[in-house]
Every structure is written in C-alpha cells, then in structure tokens.
Amino acid sequence: MKIITAGLLVLVLAGLAHAAATRPPDAAVLLRSYYRYLVTQQTGGQVQSLTAPLPKHDAAEAQAAVAAWSGQRMDAVRQELTAQFGGQGRAQFEQFVTAYSEAENKNDAHYLRGLCAALGASQPYPADFAVLRQLGLTAWLQPDIEASSKFLADIQLWLQLKGRTPNMPPLAAWLARDQPAAVPARVVPPPQKTIAQQLAGAEAPMPEFKAEDEAAPGANPLEAFSAQRKERRERAAKEAQEAMAQVATERQQAEQEYASKKQAEASAEAEAIKNHAQRLADAEKQAIEQEKDSWSTKLKGVVGATITAAGGAFFGGIGAQAGQMAANLIFQNVPALGGAPATGPGQ
C-alpha cells in the first residue's frame, strides 16, 4: 500500500471531521456504515477461526456471544441509516455497497474521486481505496476497532483459561464481568389484611335477631321449608367460594415469595460468577491488553487493505451480492457472520 503523507492525512481528516461536525453528507453515512459492517464481519470471522478446532459446546458459546455482540452493533448502524434516509435506508445502503464494491474491485479511480468529493474531503484525494480505508478507520472507526479488539481478546483469553482454570465462568459472564449488575425486579405480594383489620372483622356486632314470621293461616309449610333450604344452599355456596378465594390468595402469595427467593438466589449466583470472572481478568490484565493490541493491529491491517475478489468473497461478495448480504445483516439481523478466514491482503 502506498505511503500516506502527513499532509494528505491532515487535509483529508480535516475535511471528514468538518463533515461530522454538521449534518454529515449522505456519502459519509453510507461509507461509515459500510466500514462498520466490514469490521463486524471480520470480527465474526476471526471468532469462527478461533473456535473451529474446539469442542461443539465451547464453539456454540462463542458463536452465541458474537451473534449478540454483532446484533447490537448492526442495530446502531441501522439506526444511523434510518435517521439519515428514513424508510429509504436499506435501499440507499444496498445500492451504495453494490457500487462501492464493484468500483473497489476494479480500482475505479473515477468513482473514487467522485466519492471523495461527495464526502467533502479536501484535496489531494486519496490515491486508491486502501488509502481511503485507512483514513476512514482513523477518522471514524477508532472506537469500533477498540471495541472489536477487546471483544476478540476476551474470547481468546477465555478459551485459553478454560483449558487450565477450574470452575471457569461461562463466556457470557466473562464478557459481562465489568458491566453493572442488574437490579432484580421486586415481587410485590398482594395486600393482606392487618391483624387489626382481622380482629375488627371478627368483633363486628351481630345483626339484630329477627324472628321469622309465623306462617300465615293457610300458608303451605312445604314452601317455607323449601325457601329455607334454598337460603342455606346459597349461604353454603358463598362460604365455599370465599374459602376457595382465600386458598387461591394464600397460594399466590406463597408462589410469589418462592419466585422472589429463587430470583434472589439466581441473582446472587450470577453476581458471584461475575466477581469470579473479574478476579480472573484482573490477574490476566496484562495478557488481555497484549491480545487487544495485537487484534487491533490485525483488524486495521485486514479491514484497511484493498479488498480483492478473493478477499471480497469473505466480506460478502462483490457487487449486487455484497449489497444484498450487507443490507440483510443490518436490516433483517441475519445472524450469519464471518465464514472462512479472510485470505485477502493483510493476512
């Protein structure tokens, strides 16, 4: 790759920074989104390379972690595209990736000059797509490279520790060790009558006794008997319903107390696992930093290089195929990330 002069770097970065200070040009949002997509794809591919020789269970943990991590990053890209283009975000992005990947594969200098002008970059423009990528990484994607490098370093060290450390925490707990613990939701039991209310109900005065009227002369005693029996049945049914409601209330309260207890136990166990992971990470802090620096250099080299036809296949193809696959991943959250290890420049 050609050497980037200090003057070119300063001028182009100044133009990109000025564009970011105001509402960014459409081309800047599209190109930045595409580069973020490439970083995420490369990260997923590197995880797959790390886990390829591992047992199925360990590989599944890593793939689940990279799917969740990449989903969050693609959500952010989708939100930025939607904020810039509204309902046309997918179509605009797919068209851009198609045109860009074809132009890069052909090293189309005319397309490159037009793109740099649309970005608002200062002249002299980058000489080729590799220079533009390096400038884009420097201007836009330092936080993305940092986060991706840390993610890869954490997974690589977790795989190394898992083979020699007893009771190694699950990968999800290892990755979330520095995140604040979630506060468990408090289960509020239904309101219960206080002792005073229960006593007040028990000591309520009895209703005034009223003797039943004597049957009028000529009244049918069987009818009076039937009415009394109906009243007793209704009273018995009402008492049974009240008893069933009381039992249901007590059962609900017991179940909620049990669920609250189990939730508290699960939260305590999860916190203990995270604390254990944090202690292990503190002991391996230097190793994590070294791996992170190594991954950062590698990601910058791979993503910053010009993508040839061979390398482009790893990133999602060339032309319409590249545009469609990138749009699917961002707008449909397709979980298929990475693939075979990259064979393009920079490996």
What long-range pairs does 312-317 form, CB within 8 A, spacing at least 24? Answer: 312/101, 312/104, 312/105, 312/344, 314/41, 314/45, 314/338, 314/339, 314/340, 314/341, 314/342, 314/343, 314/344, 315/38, 315/41, 315/42, 315/342, 316/41, 317/101
Least confidently predicted of 41-50, 133-142, 221-230: 221-230
Please calculate the CA angle 67-322-48 and round it to the nearest 5 degrees.
35
Least confidently predicted of 48-57, 67-76, 315-324: 315-324
Each residue's pLDDT tens digit, 11-22: 444 455 444 456
Model confidence at 241, pLDDT cuts 50, 70, 90, reads: confident
pLDDT score recorded for residue 267: 66
Residues 29/84, Cβ–Cβ less than 8 Å:
yes
pLDDT score recorded for residue 204: 54
For 299-308, what is the mean pLDDT?
72
Higher pLDDT, 179 or 55: 55
Question: What does the alpha-carbon distance between residue 273 and residue 174 come to, in Å, rounded to a whole number?
Answer: 8
Cα distances from 292 to residues 149, 166, 288, 338, in angstroms, run 5, 24, 6, 20
For 45-65, what is the mean pLDDT?
86
State which of 36-45, 156-165, 232-241, 269-278 shows the largest mean pLDDT: 36-45
For 158-174, what is the mean pLDDT?
82
pLDDT score recorded for residue 58: 82
pLDDT score recorded for residue 19: 46
pLDDT score recorded for residue 191: 57
- Statement: residue 202 has pLDDT above 70: no
pLDDT score recorded for residue 78: 93
Higher pLDDT, 347 or 118: 118
Q: What is the CA radius of gyration of the chain?
A: 34
| Average pLDDT over all residues of the chain | 75
pLDDT score recorded for residue 336: 41
Residue 290, token pair as written in the block: 């070294």
Query: Which element (helix H / strand E) includes 226?
Result: helix 221-283
Model confidence at 7, pLDDT cuts 50, 70, 90, reads: very low
Model confidence at 2, pLDDT cuts 50, 70, 90, reads: very low
- Statement: residue 197 has pLDDT above 90: no
Least confidently predicted of 51-60, 98-107, 267-276: 267-276
Higher pLDDT, 175 or 197: 175
Query: Which element (helix H / strand E) includes 342?
Result: none
What's CA 196's distance to the chain center, in Å?
50
Each residue's pLDDT tens digit, 113-159: 999 999 888 788 888 888 888 888 888 888 999 999 999 998 888 88
Each residue's pLDDT tens digit, 243-261: 888 888 878 877 777 777 7
Cα distances from 269 to residues 111, 168, 265, 338, in angstroms, run 57, 14, 6, 34
Model confidence at 10, pLDDT cuts 50, 70, 90, reads: very low
- Statement: residue 317 has pLDDT above 50: yes
Residues 19/28, Cβ–Cβ less than 8 Å:
yes
Question: What does the alpha-carbon distance between residue 157 and residue 55 come to, in Å, rounded to a whole number?
Answer: 16
pLDDT score recorded for residue 243: 80
Higher pLDDT, 253 or 194: 253
Higher pLDDT, 13 or 1: 13
Question: What does the alpha-carbon distance between residue 133 and residue 58 come to, in Å, rounded to a whole number?
Answer: 34
Least confidently predicted of 36-40, 88-92, 179-183: 179-183
Cα distances from 294 to residues 146, 158, 241, in angstroms, run 11, 16, 71
